[in-house]
Structure 1
């Protein structure tokens, strides 16, 4: 028997609650699958991959505070991951000559190579996970989620 967030549903639960818990359960399952694959294949974690993914689009580097905000985690979490990746020569810190308290971090050439390999695998794993749905159902689901995201963003402005 599988236990997840949907196990708290009752027969009289609202449709909104059912949908939310189903989305949450699916997200958890996909995320757990990706975490497992990253560890098995690359001996890394999803937060480290996400960290590198943020840096991949910014060749000149990103400030630690900006990275923290983008990943929605504390500066302490960012510092811990940065220290690990720096020890492995996957990232480098560039001291800001105008403000020595502030540093940019960016992927090293070794980090870019490692990230690109992981990113290709990551995309394949997602394709595998979602291949369980027909192309038609995937398109319908994506369209529905885009509509929901748009409606919610307008509602929360």
Structure 2
């Protein structure tokens, strides 16, 4: 054990993994806070709004509101207000779903797609800067390890 690393070598694996989780959480919160602030100051928008636009950008034909909320893992209520504001701003279009009077499909307009592309480019740049301490090999290795956790956790 060194002064820079207070972890005793004999520490149980469960404690080591708990420490890893806490560091992952802290790092995630740090990155997320910076992204939220950058989106707010540079684009006058929010991270949830960016997330909705990101999801919609992957589906040219749009998504039903229930599909969108499921994809984002949030309630329909959380998505509804964001979608309404995107529609008001001309970034999204809400259309009725044939055969289902209660459902609506949402998709980005051309204006919305262009705005999202602008935001996504800056978002990528910010993430690159925030994770710049990692070399490409380290980033790839960590991504592979996190993918492994996700695969094994989904079983």
Q: Distance in 2 between matches of 1:34 and 1:145?
A: 21
Task: Measure how far apart 1:16 and its partner are.
Answer: 1.3
Single out whichever of 93-102 and 122-131 deviates more from structure 2. Answer: 93-102
Question: In the alignment, does 2:36 pair up with 1:28?
Answer: no
1:54 paired residue number: 55
Q: Distance in 2 between matches of 1:134 and 1:66?
A: 36
2:3 paired residue number: none
Q: Distance in 1 between matches of 2:55 and 2:135?
A: 31
For residue 60 of structure 1, give the secondary structure of its aligned residue in structure 2.
Answer: coil
2:106 paired residue number: 105
Q: Distance in 1 between matches of 2:75 and 2:83?
A: 12
For residue 95 of structure 2, give the secondary structure of its aligned residue in structure 1.
Answer: strand
The correspondence of residues 136-147 of structure 1 with structure 2, limited to 5 A, is 136-147=137-148
Task: Measure how far apart 1:132 and its partner are.
Answer: 1.6
Q: Distance in 1 between matches of 2:148 and 2:98?
A: 45
Q: Distance in 1 between matches of 2:120 and 2:150?
A: 25
Size of the alignment, in residue pairs? 145
2:90 paired residue number: 89
Please give the TM-score of this superposition, normalised by the length of structure 1: 0.85
For residue 100 of structure 2, give the secondary structure of its aligned residue in structure 1.
Answer: coil
Unaligned runs of 5+ in 1: 1-9
2:4 paired residue number: none
2:41 paired residue number: 40
Unaligned runs of 5+ in 2: 1-6
Change (3 A) 1:139 1:99: closer
Deviations, residues 51-95 of structure 1 (Å, cap 9, x unaligned): 001100111110001111111111111111111111101101111
Task: Measure how far apart 1:42 and its partner are.
Answer: 0.4
